[in-house]
A = this chain, B = another copy of it.
C-alpha cells in the first residue's frame, strides 16, 4: 500500500506531506492521514523577525556531560493572552498562531526557542570547554483538535505519528552531524506544561546523550555476550511471567518493568527488536500504536482525569553502524505515586542517582490492568 512519493526513499515513510517555510524562516512539515494535505491561506508564525538561535554547549568536567545554554529564551517579548493557543489553526491573520488552516493531521515545525539549533555558531568562551549548540528542536502537533489527547486519537493517526517520528529521524540522520533523535511528550502542569493542545517535541543531539548512551552500553555488552537483545530478553521474561503486562499483542507489548523507577512507569515496545521507527513493519507499527493507545487510555481511565507523564522514545544512535543490540521502545515516567501524591525527585534520586520506590511495580501493574479500555 506504500507509495514512493515525496522526499522519502524508504517504504515506511508517511505518504502525504507538504513542506512549508514560516515567515520567520522556520521549516514546517504537514502530514496527511490517509489523504493529501491542503492548506488554506498563508503559513502563519506568531513571530515576524527571523529566528537567530545561537545556543551553546558547556562541558561539565565532573559529570562528563554537555549542558546546553540558550539564554535568548529569557528575552521572549511575545506575551500572549491566557486563552491564546499557539497550536490552534490560524483563523485570523492579525492574530497568527503556528498552524495554518487546512486539512492535515500532524504538523512538525522548528521550535521558536530551541535549546539546540542548526544555526549555532561561535560559542562564547567560558571557564569550561564550550561548543556550538548544534542540533534540532522540533514541535510535533499530534492533532489539529485542541481538546483531544494522544490516546484519544484514532489508531491510524497514532500509526501516522510513529511514521512521522521515523521521518524526522531519517531527516536528522541525513544531515550527517547529528547523533541521536529523541521524540518525547511532556504532559500536564505537574511536569511543567500548561499548553494542553496535544503535542510533543523532538530533540536531535550532536552526541548520544547520557541516558541513551548508558542504555546502548549495557545493551551492547549484553549482545556481545549473549548474541541477543537485552530488552528483548526482558520483554520475553515479562511476557512469560505475565503479572506486569499492560498490553500484549501479536507484535507489541506494554508492561510495568520489574525495575520501575516511577510508580506508574510503563514501557511500550515491539516484541522483536527494531532499531529505528522507520524500520517498523506495517504490522509492528499497527500493533505498537495499539499498545501505545491502550497505555494512554488506561492512564486517563485510572483516576478518570488526564494523567500527566513524561513519555520518551529510545532508538539506536545515528552513527551509520548496524545496531543489533538496540531496541526501539518508549518509557513513561509519570509524576504521581498515588491519586493525590506526587513523587518528588530529591536527595537520593537527583543527588545520588539511586531511585527509591515505596510501592512494588507488580502492585501498580495490577491497578493498570484493572482499568478497562476499548480500542476503536
Mask, A54-95, CB within 8 Å of B = 1, is 000011111111111111011000000000000000000000
A182 near B347: Cβ-Cβ < 8 Å: yes
Asked if A127 and B356 make an inter-chain contact with CB atoms under 8 angstroms apart, the answer reads: no
A31 within 8 A of B: no
**Given A128-B258, A222-B61: A67 and B357 within 8 A (CB)?**
yes
The DSSP consensus for interface residues of chain A is mixed
Chain B positions within 8 Å of A333 at CB level: 350-351
A342 CB–B CB distance under 8 Å? yes
Does A284 sit within 8 A of B, measured CB to CB? no
A261 at the interface (CB under 8 A from B): yes
Q: Mark A181-195, 1 if CB is under 8 A from B, else 0.
A: 010111000011100
Q: Which of B219, B310, B344, B356 contacts A68 (CB 8 A)?
A: B356
Which of B65, B345, B363 has a CB less than 8 Å from the CB of A353? B65
Going nearest first, the 5 A-B pairs with the smallest beta carbon separation are: A192-B344, A210-B353, A312-B351, A184-B347, A209-B352
20 contacts between A and B (CB under 8 A): A58-B258, A61-B259, A62-B234, A64-B218, A65-B353, A66-B354, A67-B355, A68-B355, A69-B360, A70-B358, A71-B358, A126-B259, A127-B234, A127-B237, A186-B344, A209-B348, A211-B352, A211-B353, A212-B353, A333-B351
